[in-house]
Structure 1
Amino acid sequence: MQIRVICVCDLGILTGSRDKTIKLWVEGDDGEYTEASMFVGHTDFVSALAFAPASSIHPDGLVVSGARDATVRLWNPVRFTELQILEGHKYQVGGGKMGVCQQVLTGHTGPVLCTLRVPRGDVWSGSGDDSIRVWREGTCVDVIPAHADTVRHLAFVPGSGQAVSASHDTTLKVWDVEARACTSQLWGHSSLVYAAAATPGGLLASGSEDNTSRLWHLGGGPSLQTLPHPGCVWTVDFLPDSDLVTGCADGVARLFTQDSSRAAGAEAVQVFEATLAAAAEVAAAKEGAGEGGAAAGLKLEDPSVLREPGTHPGQTRVVREGGTGMAYSWNAASQSWDVVGEVVGGPGGGEDTLAPAGSRVVGGRTWDYVFDVDVEDGSPPRRLPVDAGENPYVAADRFLAAEDLPTSYREQIVSFILQNTPSGQSLPGASSGHAGDPFTGANAYVPGAPSAAPPMRPSPGLTSVVGGGPDPFTGSAATPGLIPAARYLVFDALPDPAAVARKLGQLAPGVPAPVDAARVEALAAALCAPTAAAPSAAQAETLAQLLAYPAAALFPALDLARVAVARKAGGPIAQLDLGPTMAGAGDAAPGTICAALWRALQRDAPAPTRLTAARLVANLYAEPETREWARAGGAALTAALATALPPETKAARHALVTALHNAVLALVAADVAGGAEILSAASDVLLSTPGEESETRVRGLVALGTLLHTVRPLRGGARGLGLEEVAAQLGGEGGDVGQAARELRAMLAR
């Protein structure tokens, strides 16, 4: 999920995310950063981070975090445990250096989004009221009218008397701290600026909603360099060696360097460029279709044109704002550009019309649909924003969180979205499609219609059966419990060999050197025959060649590998080249399972590829011949799955929770690390699963219960994620969902 805040400190790099977790990344001897630990406890997304060096009271130092759950939390960075929760804020805790509350400072007329302690002990605060306030010993000593819009971030320039402010007005300003005067203003971003950071040498970096990070000189002038990203850049920071780290909406933290000897390898650069190209393609498609409110074919100007005065009264300019066209008219009397409205397609798709400014703007951005929803009698309507193609459950959860409404409204909100968007059924692309057969679409899930999951079977694993045997007091048989789990689950449905070959033939034009069709048909027939047969050496080589295909054409090969692992025909597994574990995926040779999964589990890979990869991972954990390989790279594998396959569709939730279920059994059996990552990912799946997906809910509850049954230190984190409340809510249901929820709740109560 989106990385919202980064803190470079003595420990390494700390990142805070919308997934409610904090992660610590440490540089290895090879210059690569790997995840060292994860802090779990916040109940909403993390928005602020700081590190306090070692002291006599805290010899290990302290990690300090703030979140939208309105708490500040203190963590031990060595034992990765939560030490204290500081409460008192009514709303989200934003950026700044934090500590024990000694005084409450009031005065801003808008939300306070950032704070900065400057030399001599003054504190600067930036707010949604467009101002910076200067505080000294608890008293406001100055109010600076800093920007034309929200002051989002404040940063100090090390070794100088200067500070930098970043604003929603698309600019940055450099300030003389002592004089409290602006010394330069930096223009160039085309959308909201969220973050800024500076080096002692005077190099400044910024992050913006325009999907770029820019480098500047503090003295002013145009940006020195633009670093494109595949999504909004929420946060930036510099390392001591002046390398830049950015946090992006695609859930990835990236490092940029001026030192050519530290530059990433060709493969990593290629992946980054492919990610940018995919994001640009999506943006271009939206622009060409007139999505986001801008009429198709309308020429939009950069917002920077509004810095120039108009040529005559009433002159109109249409500029790009958040993917839409916003019209401005020149007011000669006030010598300013007045907002007229948003340019949208007319009712019949013909001439352009003007909608009132802000009519589809919620939370600082423009949406495809905004509905006024009457939730409570006597209260004003709430604004429900939805994008075309968005999963209605994701939109509903976002709305409930933003409006602080109970989750009991969830199904009503989803129904409202489905009934009030085009076709009266579902948003385009929002159906939680679950294709049991990715080649033919068989068993495809349609909202409102019954769905069938791919056939699955238990696999021999842990042999204990919970609750078995007669009651020693009454002699009656005890009711078997669901937690802890005792069996692995396997995706073993056989695809139609002809459909596999046909799909590979359709994908062949996008492959540089496609495998001969006859060889593909022979391999598919051998693996998918009613009676499993070990493929020949030549057929095993064919599978390796298919596994080297690019991500866009990879899912048929992954599905054949899934079958090979599931059927355990001796030959198929023996001849599969697994390669290094996922922790070393960057060094994996083409044609190995590791290299194929690494390409498949990228956010820009096609959905069928990512989905089939998750099913393959589930089988790799389930079968004894491949389990140790999967377990050895478990943390990296879980992180890759959770990043690449958000639980936004029924198929994704089902595949992801099954892989996590099997990962838990492998973890428990071997007593290895990695439980925190599974806890976070499985919790996300469970919290995203609607009521009609009872099997997915059961698997999520059982996976979490099995994990917490053995790894007791994670129970505090589970409570912090709200699992106790979820278990209490689901415990009233019938069947396995209710039973598993009651068992999980009883465990968390201990």
Structure 2
Amino acid sequence: MTSYKLRCSISGHEMDVRGLVSAVFPEGALVSVSRDRTGRVWVPNSSPDKGFTEMHCMSGHSNFVSCVCIITPNETYPRGLIATGGNDNNICVFSLDQPQPLFTLQGHKNTVCTLASGKFGTLLSGSWDTTAKVWLNEKCMMTLQGHTAAVWAVTILPEQGLMLSGSADKTIKLWKAGRCEKTFTGHEDCVRGLAVISSTEFFSCSNDTSIRRWLVTGECVQVYYSHTNYIYSLAVFPNSQDFISTGEDRSVRLWRGGECCQTIRLPAQSIWCCCILPNGDIAVGASDGIIRVFTEAEDRVASAEELQAFEDELSKATIDPKTGDLGDIKMEDLPGREHLNEPGNRDGQTRLIKDGQKVEAYQWSVSDDRWMKIGDVVGGSNQQTSKSVMYEGKEYDYVFSIDVNEGGPSLKLPYNVSDDPWLTAHNFLQKNDLSPMFLDQVANFIIENTKGHVVGPAQPGGGDPFTGEGTRSGRYIPGSNPNPSVPSGVADPFTGKGAYSSAGLKQTPTNIYFPKTDGVTFDQANASQIMAKLKELNGGAPPEHKLPEETMESIERLLLSVCVPDSSEPPPTIQEINLLWKASLWPEGTSASHS
């Protein structure tokens, strides 16, 4: 039996690739969407180049793009349309010849995370708002209500007008004409993907690591196990029997005759999505922003140099025992490298060996008749403690898993002990378009899991005027001891509270109330709390620096116009901005020095 090998790696997206679909036009093309807020159309290069070239980039979402599907061609759009759903709660519909959407479908109250298309231009969407919606052209025809948690997966059966939805409430529902006809139970965790086999059968996959085959009459006729972590996506081959699956265990798995016949490991933790191209090649999208295409056809396999580079990258990855099929690891019980002289029993079998003080993981490849290194095993359930953890091609002291969504996947947060945990947390939230409300929670998670210590005395607490949450006190340097010589009263540039220093070095900014000289942006802010703090500072300022009441009122109007999106206040004037600048020049010695 032939096996799939790497055809090419497609780079272009700047963040996780969250959705893939085979395009109707051009021939052999595929469409991808990403956390970088874009969708892209990729066309195959002419032989002998086995790669793909970006033909088209689509923008229109104001947040992550989570899913994509092709709307069936019609007389008006003979090449079909592309629909994308995003974390901005919207669905954008594009043609293949312009980067901006033809129209935007609005109606969901939370992230649109799954899309499917049917006959006559019907579009089905699922959302974190617990509903699915049926759209035709630019109109919502009906809302499917019944799930009690996020709808992670939807699909449309080819006959009888039947629709399916899978949810974080662990159930699958069958809908007809807007009514729930049947509820399928059996999965023990969130249902993440659905795939049609025929008009009477379908597959589902789940966070419970299983794939199930169902009859639309309600019976589960088979359960498939091989993955060792969340399973995110499924795609069925044209023969309607064989399929592929991807998940959080760094793998894409091929299934033939009900058995997993090949496991392909990738050098990225989350393999979010997959699709099957018309020529039988498979494409997968991952958390490292790369699309990888695998093929059975010898003439499309990557060069020996590219295959070796892919294997080298894989061998340098790190494996958290929690996310791999490795079981409990006892260093003293592991065999040495000689264990690799014995052949494996099945494709994808993993074997651990001890090499000095390192634990290495290998996978048996039936097609190559050898053990391939798939990474170094480090860390525990939540953190990786090797001093050289590779993540997305860079080395870190730690790589944390941060859970932010109900039933959703973990986000990876790389961290070095020389970094400021608060700055790291801020950058993590900004990169992933998360609310600054999480700043304390994420920073404290880093501190606790790196066993940090306070540097400098704790300052009085209080509400952070930017987030409305309590603020930290003290600067944490992982692995260091308290250092009383670090000056107190130096404001954290993100919360305005607590002692702040960089990598343990003393810093005394010239203006301790505005220690950061470049701009810091916030996705949201509490104007009333910011104003209350400014009034407090103004009340403690020396008479010659105290701002008059009318000035404070102008600043308040300025804050409202900036912080409140729906405010009726006009845009700030240059005079108001100058007033704010004047307020930043309070001298040392006011009440601000104790904030």
Aligned residues of 1:70 and 1:92 also touching (Cα < 8 A): yes
**Equivalent residue number for residue 265 of structure 2:** 228
Aligned residues of 2:90 and 2:105 also touching (Cα < 8 A): yes
Compute the displacement of 1:57 (Å). 3.8
Q: Secondary structure at the match of 2:245?
A: strand
- Deviation string, structure 1 residues 527-561 (Cα, Å, up to 9, x no partner): xxxxxxxxxxxxxxxxxxxxxxxxxxxxxxxxxxx
**Equivalent residue number for residue 220 of structure 2:** 182
Compute the displacement of 1:80 (Å). 2.1
User: 1:227–1:419: structure 2 CA closer, same or farther, 3 Å change rule?
Assistant: closer
State yes or no: 1:422 paired with 2:471.
no
User: 1:139–1:393: structure 2 CA closer, same or farther, 3 Å change rule?
Assistant: farther
Q: Which of 49, 52, 58 is the matching residue for 2:68?
A: 49
- Distance, in Å, in 2 between the alignment partners of 1:96 and 1:395 is 32
- Distance, in Å, in 2 between the alignment partners of 1:298 and 1:395 is 37
Alignment of 1:6-25 (within 5 A): 6-11=20-25, 12-25=29-42
- Distance, in Å, in 1 between the alignment partners of 2:243 and 2:210 is 13
Compute the displacement of 1:51 (Å). 1.4
Q: What residue ranges of structure 1 are gaps of 5+ in the alignment?
A: 301-321, 327-341, 346-358, 368-383, 429-444, 452-689, 698-723, 738-750
- Distance, in Å, in 2 between the alignment partners of 1:117 and 1:241 is 24
**Equivalent residue number for residue 76 of structure 1:** 95
User: 1:88–1:152: structure 2 CA closer, same or farther, 3 Å change rule?
Assistant: same
Alignment of 1:442-521 (within 5 A): 446=503
Aligned residues of 2:447 and 2:478 also touching (Cα < 8 A): no
Alignment of 1:637-656 (within 5 A): none
Compute the displacement of 1:121 (Å). 1.2
Compute the displacement of 1:365 (Å). 8.4
User: 1:243–1:109: structure 2 CA closer, same or farther, 3 Å change rule?
Assistant: same
Q: Which of 95, 110, 114 is the matching residue for 2:149?
A: 110
- Distance, in Å, in 2 between the alignment partners of 1:295 and 1:37 is 47
Q: Secondary structure at the match of 1:34?
A: strand
- Distance, in Å, in 2 between the alignment partners of 1:227 and 1:692 is 47
User: 1:733–1:45: structure 2 CA closer, same or farther, 3 Å change rule?
Assistant: farther
**Equivalent residue number for residue 137 of structure 1:** 177
State yes or no: 1:125 paired with 2:165.
yes
Compute the displacement of 1:138 (Å). 0.4
State the one-letter code of the partner of 1:69: D
State the one-letter code of the partner of 2:183: V
Aligned residues of 1:195 and 1:234 also touching (Cα < 8 A): yes
Aligned residues of 1:385 and 1:399 also touching (Cα < 8 A): no
Larger strand fraction of residues: 2
Larger helix fraction of residues: 1
Aligned residues of 1:294 and 1:324 also touching (Cα < 8 A): no
- Distance, in Å, in 1 between the alignment partners of 2:409 and 2:73 is 45
**Equivalent residue number for residue 64 of structure 1:** 83
- Distance, in Å, in 1 between the alignment partners of 2:69 and 2:310 is 29
- Distance, in Å, in 2 between the alignment partners of 1:181 and 1:56 is 39
Alignment of 1:157-556 (within 5 A): 157=197, 161-177=200-216, 179-201=217-239, 202-217=241-256, 219-220=257-258, 222-231=259-268, 232-279=270-317, 282-283=318-319, 297=331, 363=405, 389=416, 392-393=422-423, 395-396=425-426, 405=435, 407=436, 422-424=451-453, 425-426=476-477, 446=503
Alignment of 1:680-695 (within 5 A): 692=516, 694=518
* TM-score of the two chains, using structure 2 as the length reference: 0.55
State yes or no: 1:3 paired with 2:43.
no
- Distance, in Å, in 1 between the alignment partners of 2:409 and 2:92 is 33
More off after superposition, 208-217 vs 54-63: 54-63
Aligned residues of 2:425 and 2:443 also touching (Cα < 8 A): no
- Distance, in Å, in 2 between the alignment partners of 1:392 and 1:33 is 40
User: 1:361–1:63: structure 2 CA closer, same or farther, 3 Å change rule?
Assistant: closer
User: 1:400–1:174: structure 2 CA closer, same or farther, 3 Å change rule?
Assistant: same
Compute the displacement of 1:65 (Å). 0.4
Q: Secondary structure at the match of 1:102?
A: strand
- Distance, in Å, in 2 between the alignment partners of 1:223 and 1:238 is 17
* TM-score of the two chains, using structure 1 as the length reference: 0.44
- Distance, in Å, in 2 between the alignment partners of 1:343 and 1:79 is 44
- Distance, in Å, in 2 between the alignment partners of 1:185 and 1:64 is 32
Aligned residues of 2:66 and 2:86 also touching (Cα < 8 A): yes
State the one-letter code of the partner of 1:3: V
State the one-letter code of the partner of 1:274: D
- Deviation string, structure 1 residues 225-247 (Cα, Å, up to 9, x no partner): 00101122110110011111011
More off after superposition, 193-202 vs 394-403: 394-403
Compute the displacement of 1:204 (Å). 0.6
Aligned residues of 1:294 and 1:323 also touching (Cα < 8 A): no
- Distance, in Å, in 2 between the alignment partners of 1:418 and 1:148 is 31
- Deviation string, structure 1 residues 398-452 (Cα, Å, up to 9, x no partner): 55899974x4x58767876676653343569xxxxxxxxxxxxxxxx8587779x
**Equivalent residue number for residue 44 of structure 2:** 27
Q: Secondary structure at the match of 1:223?
A: strand
User: 1:276–1:400: structure 2 CA closer, same or farther, 3 Å change rule?
Assistant: closer
User: 1:394–1:241: structure 2 CA closer, same or farther, 3 Å change rule?
Assistant: farther
**Equivalent residue number for residue 494 of structure 2:** none
Q: Secondary structure at the match of 2:194?
A: strand
User: 1:75–1:426: structure 2 CA closer, same or farther, 3 Å change rule?
Assistant: farther
Q: Which of 55, 73, 95 is the matching residue for 1:36?
A: 55
**CA RMSD between the two structures:** 4.6
- Distance, in Å, in 2 between the alignment partners of 1:228 and 1:124 is 30
- Distance, in Å, in 2 between the alignment partners of 1:235 and 1:258 is 19
- Distance, in Å, in 2 between the alignment partners of 1:693 and 1:203 is 58
Identity rate of aligned residues, in percent? 27
- Deviation string, structure 1 residues 557-597 (Cα, Å, up to 9, x no partner): xxxxxxxxxxxxxxxxxxxxxxxxxxxxxxxxxxxxxxxxx
State the one-letter code of the partner of 1:5: G
- Distance, in Å, in 1 between the alignment partners of 2:101 and 2:515 is 33
- Distance, in Å, in 1 between the alignment partners of 2:33 and 2:380 is 33
Q: Secondary structure at the match of 1:270?
A: helix
Aligned residues of 2:213 and 2:223 also touching (Cα < 8 A): yes
User: 1:274–1:415: structure 2 CA closer, same or farther, 3 Å change rule?
Assistant: closer
Aligned residues of 1:132 and 1:146 also touching (Cα < 8 A): no
State the one-letter code of the partner of 1:183: V
Q: Secondary structure at the match of 1:94?
A: strand
**Equivalent residue number for residue 600 of structure 1:** none
**Equivalent residue number for residue 633 of structure 1:** none
Aligned residues of 2:90 and 2:108 also touching (Cα < 8 A): yes
- Distance, in Å, in 1 between the alignment partners of 2:425 and 2:383 is 24
Q: What residue ranges of structure 2 are gaps of 5+ in the alignment?
A: 1-14, 117-122, 124-134, 335-376, 386-400, 454-475, 480-501, 509-513, 522-564, 582-595
Aligned residues of 1:235 and 1:248 also touching (Cα < 8 A): yes
Compute the displacement of 1:210 (Å). 0.5
Higher relative contact order (CA 8 A, sep 6+): 2
- Deviation string, structure 1 residues 661-687 (Cα, Å, up to 9, x no partner): xxxxxxxxxxxxxxxxxxxxxxxxxxx
State the one-letter code of the partner of 1:14: V
